[in-house]
Amino acid sequence: MATAFEYGIDTLTTGKALALAQGTMKGILSTAARKRITASQQQVQQIVDENKTVYGVNTGFGILANAKISEEDTRTLQHKILQSHSVGVGDPIPAEIAKLMLITKMQALAKGYSGVQLQTLERINWHIEQDVIPIVPEKGSVGASGDLAPLAHLFLPLIGLGEVLYKGVRYKAADVLQQFGVAPIQLGPKEGLALINGTQFILSFAIKAVERMHHCLEVADIIGAMSLEALTGTQAPFDERLHQLRPYAGTQLVAQRLRLLLHDSAIMQSHVDCGRVQDPYSLRCMPQVHGASRNAWLHLKELTEIELNSVTDNPIILAADDTISGGNFHGQPLALPLDYACFAAAEIGNIADRRCYLLLEGKWGLPMLLMKNVGLNSGFMIPQYTTAALVTENKTLCFPASADSIPTSLGQEDHVSMGSISGRKLNKVLDNLEYILAIELLSACQAIEFRHPLKSSAILEFAHDQVRRQVSFAEEDRIFADDINKIKAIITDYSFVEAVNTYTHLAGVELNKGYEAFGI
């Protein structure tokens, strides 16, 4: 296991957050973090003892901010806020996302500006380490005062309520706590509010999207290069000199990768004087289209990592006599880049579908529908129907949730981000994109075999072999859904790209050389 991560002290990245969720890195509360946490909690207690009026400590919430709460009721108030705000509906979010919510909340609270008890953070970390993951419904957050409903559900188990997933089985939280001999926590002043204020639901979907979209972008370049080879396209549009004249980082990276992927291809050399002047845009403009999506991805990654190390609570406790009630919980900083990334992911699917269509047309020496005996067989006609359907579904998901706002809390919270919807929507688009890329990869591998005995580059021949370990060449129709699911699986788990990357590294080729920011 890697060196322990110190919550609230160390800088959290998307990669480290995922490692903590996967259990390959351990998160701890260091002595320095414990001092910060304890000092902040003591400041909140001083506010209560001195009867100073501070929002959320001894007042109601939202529109009820002017309702004063007595000292004896300040703890009850925090218990009630978890109950009253647990209004989520729909299916549970994936356990990994819920675990990321716990991890990112640990990082935010451990910075020592929220007034929580040390034992509360220790209990949250216990949930992470024991893999006792709260059940969180997917819908109910507007991403304004943070992700109130999902975070309320996330922390119900702290007070012995709600449900958890443990060893793949759904239980009442109280039953699992009893099984471990662990008692519910008595929340102190402000703690309930600190737990539910924040962007951890939006943020956790963003972390997962950063990982998944990175995988899709990596595989899209490889598949696009294979489609270009099968269609006897030219690599001239990937010339480094061209892209120095319009030097977007993403465009330059994709052009570099395509040059390396196609290097020393016998197929490419076989048609250098074929007389074809230009390829269709879906081949020629891969650096511009794939590259623009990479730029969008990088923007999301950079803003996600700012949020990973931010305090998104309200109010912020600087000292007993210095508190700030602001809007750090507002989800807009992530809602906008999540929507941008949604368009960028959908565009990778759009251009992949166009390449699938080109492969079926029967041009440039390929058989129509990528099968010799069509008529009796439909060949690869119908898999492209699926890419067309998925591309259209993605288009309907591209309406930016962040363009909408509905007032809540009787107008006190009169502008909301809807970033929770942006994050969920992006991951749905990525679900569809993985299937689209799987279908293009199947089609490209089928098509490239019609170029034999000519060989592609060593890298692309290796990539082709990885696919053929899962799915054979199709001489006639079969249930292509089985093939699609097998190839989608090696895209989703990243094993296909990891195998190609390992092969290229051993061959002394670094596809992302000079572009460290584009990795995780």
Active site residues: 55
Tokens of 275: 């007389």
Four-CA torsion 264, 347, 352, 468, nearest 10 degrees? 80
Question: What's the per-residue H, E or C state across 320-379?
Answer: CCEEECCCCCCCHHHHHHHHHHHHHHHHHHHHHHHHHHHHHCCCCCCCHHHCCCECCECC
- How many Å apart are CA 149 and CA 89, to the nearest integer? 9
For 401, the 3-state DSSP assignment is helix
Place of tokens 């440039």: 364
- How many Å apart are CA 456 and CA 267, to the nearest integer? 5
- How many Å apart are CA 340 and CA 164, to the nearest integer? 33
Place of tokens 């270009």: 228
- Residues in Cβ contact with 380 at an 8 Å cutoff, skipping those fewer than 6 apart: 356, 359, 360, 369, 370, 371, 442, 443, 446, 474, 480
- How many Å apart are CA 321 and CA 329, to the nearest integer? 22
- The CA radius of gyration of the chain, in Å to the nearest whole number, is 26
Q: Are strands 27-28 and 5-6 parallel, antiparallel or unpaired?
A: parallel
User: How far is residue 482 from each of residues 242, 350, 434, measured CA to CA in Å?
Assistant: 41, 23, 15
Other Cβ atoms within 10 Å of 513 Cβ, number: 11
